[in-house]
Amino acid sequence: MLALDMRSFNLLAALQCAVLGLVLMGMQRNFPSRIQGLRLWALAALLALGSTVFYGLLGVLPATLVGLAGNGLLLACTVCLLAGTRDFFGLPWRWGPWVALCGLSLFGLWVFFDLWPDYRPRMLIFGLAMALICAAHTRTLYRHGRGFASRVMMIAMAWQTLVLLARGLSTYWVDLPTTQRFDPGSPIHSVFVATFSFTILMVLVGAQLMASERVRQEFEHLARHDELTRLFNRRAILELVAQEHERFQRLGQPYALLLLDLDHFKRINDTLGHQAGDRTLRRVAEQVQQALRATDQLGRYGGEEFLALLPASDPASARSLAERLRARVETLPPGPDNTPACTVSIGIATVLTTDTEWDTVLNRADQALYLAKAAGRNRVAAA
């Protein structure tokens, strides 16, 4: 009865894993292409189901074939889980060492299946190989995971590592040479099988939660960033300005605003096309962003205009930075793909003690920008 119960539990867990795998596969098809790893997680779930199918054929197929195929699929499942997680985090991955580990493990299993039949060294080899893969997975999640979902996955993997180590190292005390996977006389092994199946299920649930969290972060990023330049959009940069103004009112820390406008941008669009204009915007945004301080914020204010927020800046430091930005853009040579050289006009406004609202500072920056353009463009002006 225990053997039947364990087989049933194992099959049920594997079917649940397969369902989660199919869900992950569907998620990958509908998620942004930047989110990777879901297909490998889905493949791992299907491999877990395949291993369960082979284990269920014990007594129908030769024991050696069942053992090697079932264990091989479980090893491949665990490696795919690790590969999927590293892919999800954008980390480098090499299949070679892990394929070699699986191959050596299967060779060792075959030796103790056919040449010197003994369950205990098979359990030791399998347990240690799986524990090594799970430990690497745990380490990856610990170092690169963020948020609740990755912690769930990490805890499940850490627990799996400990269970595999304990099971592999204890085999010579709790097993016999003739012990089988679903042996009703081995309750410890039954607990191990149940724990292993449940942990794989928890890892896949964690994978789905991680993918969902990443999509939420992607949507939040899109809601606050300009798609073309990857800078803050108008709403987001103005929110930051409002927050900085509140800080000024509480602490008295001054700030400055720079309003930058590309000179004769309409001419670029009309003569070279809108794609050249887009490339010019991206190029200028990148150059300005690189020249700002780590505490400064830059956003696309609208069209060809950019707004820079400079915390803890007085008029002299704000003007010095604005001149550097203007000169940096002016000295850029024409870029590849017909990207033209260009210049910018910059208006500066520093907060005053009489400014009760942040939009007053922004209006002065806009007036200063008008002065810079009226003076001949490629100028810096303050108001």
Closest C-alpha among 203, 51, 69, 189 to residue 127: 189
CA distance 244 to 253: 9
Dmax (CA) for the chain in angstroms is 93
Q: Strands 255-262 and 297-302, how do they pair?
A: unpaired
Instruction: Answer yes or no: 304 catalytic.
Output: yes
CB 227, CB 173: distance < 8 Å: no
CA distance 297 to 312: 12
CA dihedral of 281, 284, 289, 290, whole degrees rounded to 10: 140
- Tell me the angle at which helices 274-291 and 315-330 cross, rounded to the nearest 10 degrees: 140
CB 176, CB 119: distance < 8 Å: yes
CA distance 261 to 374: 13
Which residues are 349's β-sheet partners?
257
Return the structure tokens found at 180.
């089988």
List the catalytic residue out of 304, 305, 323, 330: 304
CB 288, CB 305: distance < 8 Å: no
CB 16, CB 198: distance < 8 Å: no
> First and final CA of the chain: distance in angstroms?
87
CB 340, CB 306: distance < 8 Å: no
CA distance readout (Å), 248 to 67, 252, 358, 365: 70, 5, 10, 17
CA distance 260 to 330: 13
Return the structure tokens found at 230.
């990857």
DSSP secondary structure code for residue 89 in this structure: T
Residues classed as catalytic: 304
